[in-house]
Homo-oligomer: A and B are copies of this chain.
Amino acid sequence: METTLFYNCRALRMDEADTLLEGAYVAVEGDKISSVGTQRPQGDFDREIDCKNNVLMPGLVNAHTHVPMTLLRGYGGGCDLQTWLNQWIFPAEAKLDDRAVAAGAALGLAEMIASGTTCIADMYMHTPAIARQVLEAGISANLSCGGVYFGTPGDFSPDTCGDCRNQMELTEEFHGAGGGQILVDASIHGEYTSNIPLWRWMAEYAQKKGLGMHVHLSETQTEHEECKKRWGGKTPFQILDRYGVWDTRAIAAHCVWTTEEDWAAMARKGVSCVHNPVSNLKLGSGVAWIPAMKQAGVNIALGTDGVSSNNNTDLFEEMKFAAILHNGVTRDPLALLPKDALAMATRDGAKALGRRTGQITPGYLADLILVDFDRPHLTPCHSVWDNLVYSAKGTDVVMNMARGKIIYRDGTFLTLDLEKIKAEVETYAMPLLFG
């Protein structure tokens, strides 16, 4: 197995004790971290990397995204949400095919890798095409199809419901692929785009196959209130709960309008909230009550959502939004600290996705990034935490190691051909969608 030694390390371990280890050695064997300490470990290494002026930290976890939507970056801005979706986004998405999705996914993965992401949870269509790009790129991904069912409940059959078939095909072909690089999650796009038989089927399917669950939850006030009207006052969390949707490891994206009662139930059931502050602000959805949810015991992960509502996938930027937004709206400068934002983007995101990563601990996946602190905007450094969350950018990442393999270094992609990807986007995907 290939071995790597990082030395001369300022290592932010992101363990529960939030250890910052100076002068550390971090050794990698195969796809795992094999040792962490301040003494040079014994033995020879295939590769030794000097971390001078850099901070070594766990790769970032983007726990809610739609990676092929990279193709729609900045498309259809300047109109209200319904117009944007109905007149711009949906018609463009309807033209997508596997090849265009693959191109968009590859471009999106390149952007993510360059900005320090090593693990994602994605929900989109043409999912096998995404899975193949992920396997090539080298990061870990929880993939899901975002199940939709608009038919009458009585007509439902998993064999005729397109998204049940998609789910089953995806699971069979890709769950556990790449030695666990891909995990397939069961998925319900949202309460408002499906109904009881799909919820019941998806919950049972997740149980049967041992899958996690990925759902959009209470993103907008309209979605939340209309659900309550439809279901006798039940919130989206509550009505899905009745059909067993949360009886597995589950991630609920957005949670802007969830209630205190929902939070208590989420904490009890171990359902993670994925906070997407940029998307929620940009689309005018509102501000999720993250400090209160944390207080209630809910595990909080961080996501960028799709590029079309962000419009990038830089988790450093997302951490900054998360870290300062809640201070501002609650008028408490201590509402969320840099350590909290970092935990959301690493350790707690990994937990949400059922992954043994997100911290620099022996036995964990070797998902590691180097952040170059020798830059004007990171000088001086009174606090590694504060500099990472408030001052750094995704472009400060100079190395990305995913599952023990270096996939990006000093601006160069080692698993992806960026020029080829850009050409494919320009000559195939753009004409198909917008030509």
Interface set of A (CB-CB < 8 Å, partner B): 70-81, 84, 107, 110-111, 114-115, 221, 278, 280-287, 307, 310-314, 317, 320-321, 323-325, 327-335, 337-338, 376-383, 385-387, 390-391, 393-396, 418, 422, 425-426, 430
Among A107, A307, A380, the one with the most B-chain Cβ atoms within 10 Å of its Cβ is A380
Nearest Cβ on chain B to A430's Cβ, whole angstroms? 6
Q: Give Cα distance in the complex from A107 to B376, angstroms.
A: 7
Q: Give Cα distance in the complex from A281 to B327, angstroms.
A: 6
18 further A-B contacts with Cβ under 8 Å, apart from A310-B391, A313-B377, are A70-B379, A75-B383, A77-B337, A77-B338, A78-B334, A80-B333, A107-B376, A111-B377, A115-B377, A281-B324, A281-B327, A282-B328, A311-B391, A312-B390, A321-B321, A377-B394, A380-B426, A393-B395
**CB–CB A380/B284 < 8 A:** no
**Cβ–Cβ < 8 Å partners of A391 in chain B:** 73-74, 307, 310-312
Among A286, A325, A328, A387, the one with the most B-chain Cβ atoms within 10 Å of its Cβ is A328
Sample (14) of A-B pairs whose CB atoms are under 8 Å apart? A72-B382, A73-B380, A73-B382, A73-B387, A73-B391, A78-B337, A79-B334, A84-B333, A278-B324, A285-B328, A286-B328, A311-B391, A312-B390, A376-B418
Question: B70, B79, B310: which contacts A390 (Cβ < 8 A)?
Answer: B310
**CB–CB A77/B386 < 8 A:** yes
Number of copies of this kind of chain in the complex: 2
Give the residue name and chain of the B residue nearest to A314 (CB). B377
Q: Give Cα distance in the complex from A278 to B194, angstroms.
A: 39
Q: Give Cα distance in the complex from A379 to B311, angstroms.
A: 11
Q: Give Cα distance in the complex from A249 to B383, angstroms.
A: 39
Nearest Cβ on chain B to A223's Cβ, whole angstroms? 13
Q: Give Cα distance in the complex from A418 to B337, angstroms.
A: 31
**Cβ–Cβ < 8 Å partners of A395 in chain B:** 393, 395-396
Q: Give Cα distance in the complex from A75 to B283, angstroms.
A: 34
**Cβ–Cβ < 8 Å partners of A328 in chain B:** 280-282, 284-287
Known contacts A74-B387, A381-B74; A329 and B426 CB within 8 A of each other: no
**CB–CB A111/B376 < 8 A:** yes
**Cβ–Cβ < 8 Å partners of A285 in chain B:** 328, 331
Q: Give Cα distance in the complex from A184 to B385, angstroms.
A: 37
A-B CB proximity, top 5 nearest: A281-B328, A74-B386, A284-B333, A311-B390, A281-B324
